[in-house]
C-alpha cells in the first residue's frame, strides 16, 4: 500500500479502543404492508392495475434518504409493475404514507432515457442539497416471467432538491458500466478541497467498483477478488449470495469500506488509490476484521461505521478511531428485532438521526411475502445516534485553499 493514509490503515486494524457512543432513541416511523402511490385519481390507479403497470406484490421499498422534512425512497424495477422507481413519501388517508413519484410521473416513465428507469440507491449531499441518483437503465432484472429489458444507458443524475433542476446528466460508457448486465447498487461521495468531486458506486452483478469524477465528467472502474460473491456460511441458508454491495465513506474521506452481501469480512481501500484511475488496485486492499453478520447497507458517521447484521436481525456499529480505521473491539448492536429488522437494506442520515429501511428482501425473492394480510412487510426506522453523517460540514472540513486537491 502507498501513501500516508495507507500506513495509518495498517497500524489501526488491530488498535484497541473503548469509546462507544450512546443511542438515545430508536423508533419505527413508518410501517407498510404494501406500497401504494399518490395517484392522480382513482381512474389513474385502476388503469395502471388493468395494464399491469402497477402490480402490488412486485413493489418493495429499498433505498432511503432524508433531506429536511422530506423522506425519499426507491422502489427498484426488479419486476414488472413498478410505476415509479424514485419517490418522496406523502401522507395517506389511512395513516400509511403514499409514494409520490419524484420529481414527477414523467421523470419515472419507462422507455424515456432522460427519465429514471431503475433506481436502487441515491445519496443526498446536505451541504448543497444535491441528490446524486444512479440509474441502471435496465428493468425487470429479477422478474420470474419477463426477460430483463436493457432500455437505456446506465446513468448518474445530479438533481438540485432546492429547485428540482438537473445539475448533471452523465451516461456511463459501456466499457465502464455494462449496458446489459450492470446492477449499480450503492453510492457514496468523496469530498476534495471543499466539494464533492468523486462518487463511488458498487455493482452487485458485475462485481465492480465504479468511480465518477465530477470535475472531469468521466468514469472508470476497479475490480478485485474480494468483490466477488462468497459462498453462503452456516446459518445463512435464508440469505442471497451476491458480490460487492454495501459501501461506506469515512468522515475524513481517506477510506472506502466495502463488503460482499454475505461475507463477514470488511475491506478498505484508500481514496488516494481510487482517485487515480491508473492506480494498481490489487495490492491496496486491506481486510479489517469480521463483522457479526452479513450486510447489505452500511454508512459512516463522524466517528463510527454502521452496518446491517442479517443473521442477528440487527444494526451494528463499530468505532473508527481518530486518524485511523475500524476498531472491531467496540462492535455492538444498535437495534435488533426478529420481526421488524429483517434485511436492513439502506441507511441515511438527517442531522444526528440515522434512518434505515428493513424490508424482508430475502422473503420477497423467495415469494414468501404476503401483501394482502395487512401485516407489515416494510419498516422505516429512525435512531438518534448522537453523531452526524460522514458528509456533515464536509465543505469546510476539506477546504484547503493553499493545497488544492491533496486531501487524503
Question: What is residue 402's predicted lDDT score, i.e. its pLDDT?
Answer: 59
Q: How far is CA 366 from CA 142, 239, 363, 375, in A?
A: 11, 10, 5, 18
Total structural domains within the chain: 1
Residues facing 131 on adjacent strands:
124, 159
Q: What is the CATH number of the domain that holds 210?
A: 2.120.10.30
Residue whose C-alpha is closest to residue 63's, from 130, 124, 20, 137: 124
Q: Does a structural domain hold residue 38?
A: yes
Q: Does a structural domain hold residue 406?
A: no
pLDDT along the chain (408 residues), means of 10: 45 32 77 97 97 97 98 98 98 91 98 98 98 98 94 98 97 98 98 98 97 98 95 80 94 96 94 94 91 95 96 96 79 96 97 97 91 93 97 95 49
**Contact, 61 vs 75, CB < 8 A?**
yes
Question: What is residue 25's predicted lDDT score, i.e. its pLDDT?
Answer: 87
Q: Does a structural domain hold residue 408?
A: no
Q: Does a structural domain hold residue 405?
A: no
Question: What is residue 301's predicted lDDT score, i.e. its pLDDT?
Answer: 97
Q: Does a structural domain hold residue 403?
A: no
Q: Does a structural domain hold residue 363?
A: yes
Question: What is residue 324's predicted lDDT score, i.e. its pLDDT?
Answer: 58
**Contact, 227 vs 186, CB < 8 A?**
no
Dihedral in degrees, nearest 10, Cα atoms 55, 184, 345, 357: -60
Q: What is the residue range of 138's domain?
A: 4-398
Amino acid at each position: 500500500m502507498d501513501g500516508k493514509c495507507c500506513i495509518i490503515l495498517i497500524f489501526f486494524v488491530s488498535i484497541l479502543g473503548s469509546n462507544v457512543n450512546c443511542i438515545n432513541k430508536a423508533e419505527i416511523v413508518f410501517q407498510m404492508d404494501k406500497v401504494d402511490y399518490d395517484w392522480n385519481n382513482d381512474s389513474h390507479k385502476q388503469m395502471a392495475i388493468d395494464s399491469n403497470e402497477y402490480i402490488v406484490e412486485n413493489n418493495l421499498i429499498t433505498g432511503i434518504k432524508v433531506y429536511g422534512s422530506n423522506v425519499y425512497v426507491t422502489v427498484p424495477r426488479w419486476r414488472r409493475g413498478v410505476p415509479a422507481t424514485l419517490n418522496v413519501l406523502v401522507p395517506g388517508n389511512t395513516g400509511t404514507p403514499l409514494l409520490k413519484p419524484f420529481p414527477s410521473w414523467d421523470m419515472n416513465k419507462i422507455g424515456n432515457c432522460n427519465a429514471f428507469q431503475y433506481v436502487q440507491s441515491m445519496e443526498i449531499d446536505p451541504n448543497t442539497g444535491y441528490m446524486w441518483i444512479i440509474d441502471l437503465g435496465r428493468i425487470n432484472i429479477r422478474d420470474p416471467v419477463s426477460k430483463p429489458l436493457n432500455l437505456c444507458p446506465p446513468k448518474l443524475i445530479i438533481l438540485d432538491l432546492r429547485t428540482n433542476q438537473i445539475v448533471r446528466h452523465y451516461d456511463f460508457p459501456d466499457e465502464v458500466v455494462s449496458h446489459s448486465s450492470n446492477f449499480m447498487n450503492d453510492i457514496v461521495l468523496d469530498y476534495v478541497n471543499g466539494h464533492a468531486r468523486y462518487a463511488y458506486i458498487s455493482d452487485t452483478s458485475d462485481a465492480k467498483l465504479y468511480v465518477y469524477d465530477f470535475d472531469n465528467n468521466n468514469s472508470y472502474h476497479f475490480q478485485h477478488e474480494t468483490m466477488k460473491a462468497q459462498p453462503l456460511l452456516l446459518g445463512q441458508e435464508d440469505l442471497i449470495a451476491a458480490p460487492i454491495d454495501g459501501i461506506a465513506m469515512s468522515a475524513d474521506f481517506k477510506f472506502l469500506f466495502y463488503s460482499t452481501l454475505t461475507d463477514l469480512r470488511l475491506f478498505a481501500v484508500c481514496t488516494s488509490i481510487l482517485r487515480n484511475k491508473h492506480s494498481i488496485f490489487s495490492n491496496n486492499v486491506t481486510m479489517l476484521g469480521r463483522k457479526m453478520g452479513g450486510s447489505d447497507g452500511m454508512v459512516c458517521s463522524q466517528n463510527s461505521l454502521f452496518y446491517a447484521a442479517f443473521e442477528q436481525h440487527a444494526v451494528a456499529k463499530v468505532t473508527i478511531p481518530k486518524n485511523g480505521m475500524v476498531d472491531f473491539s467496540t462492535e455492538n448492536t444498535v437495534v435488533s428485532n426478529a420481526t421488524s429488522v429483517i434485511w436492513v437494506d439502506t441507511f441515511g442520515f438527517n442531522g444526528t438521526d440515522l434512518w434505515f429501511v428493513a424490508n424482508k428482501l430475502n422473503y420477497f425473492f423467495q415469494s414468501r411475502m404476503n401483501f394482502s394480510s395487512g401485516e407489515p412487510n416494510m419498516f422505516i426506522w429512525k435512531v438518534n445516534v448522537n453523531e452526524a453523517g460522514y458528509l456533515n460540514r464536509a465543505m469546510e472540513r476539506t477546504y484547503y485553499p493553499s493545497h488544492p486537491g491533496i486531501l487524503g
